[in-house]
Amino acid sequence: MNPVRKKFSRRVRVAVGGGVLAVVAVAGFGAVTANASAPAAPPTAAAAPAAASVPDRATTTSTHLTVDAATKAAQAALDAAEKEKQRVSVAVVDRNGNTIVTLRGDGAGPQSYESAERKAYTAVSWNAPTSELAGRLQQTPTLKDIPGTLFLAGAVPVTAGNAPIAGIGVAGAPSGVLDEKFAQAGADAVAR
């Protein structure tokens, strides 16, 4: 069972027994993301513990934008900005807080890149456009002190079945209203 394969089957779990076997399994796993040209070292009997394969009841599943969809969204946001001759940066941030795609537009201001990321992070964290979230600061001003956030118009969430799975953030236009319009264009591109 590969956690990121799109065809998803809950039947594939294989209980892995001891340390030696596990390492063999790793070595035989074609697409493992290890980064080393060396072949896996032969395990010593005592020291190499096994990778534990867990049963279904120990796992949960989460939905993410594919990188293809995220790239499409980011590109659409950038295109929308360029159509209005605005120089912006775009970021797509996943539900787990990781940035998936960034595009630093030609001539975008230096502050736009990280602004776009933080706006996207904020939109996915609270599942709302940052233009709306900025309004919540009137009642709860310290929300904006949460690390990684930016309560400034310019980002919208992307949902799958009502739940947030990503945020799209844009920064660099003369106003956040404009930024958010471009972000929305990005979101629309993957909603179709």
| Residues numbered 77-106 forming contacts with its own copies, rule: CB under 8 A | 78, 85-88, 94-106
Restricting to residues 30-49, name those near its own copies by CB under 8 A.
30-38, 40-41, 43, 46-49
Q: Which residues contact 49 (CB under 8 A, 6 or more apart)?
A: 19, 22
Residues numbered 133 to 172 that lie near its own copies (CB under 8 A) are 133-140, 142-154, 156-165, 171-172
Q: Buried b vs exposed e over 14-41: b needs ≥16 C-beta within 10 Å? A: eebeebeebbebeeeeeeeeeeeeeeee
- φ, ψ of residue 93 to 5 degrees: the values are -120, 135
Q: Are 60 and 10 in contact (CB under 8 A)?
A: no
Token pair for residue 192?
Answer: 């179709």
Q: How far is the CB of 186 from its own copies (least distance, A)?
A: 8
Q: What is the smallest separation between the CB atom of 26 and its own copies, expressed in angstroms?
A: 5
Could you say which of 77, 80, 131, 169 contacts its own copies (CB under 8 A)? 131
24 binds its own copies (CB under 8 A): no
Among 53, 77, 80, 83, binds its own copies (CB under 8 A): 53
Which x/- pattern over 170-189 shows residues binding its own copies (rule: CB under 8 A)? -xxxxxxx-xxx-xx--xx-
What is the total residue count of the chain?
A: 192
Determine the Cα–Cα distance for residues 64 and 84; give it in Å rounded to an integer: 30
Contacting residue, 45, 77, 112, 169, with its own copies by CB under 8 A:
112
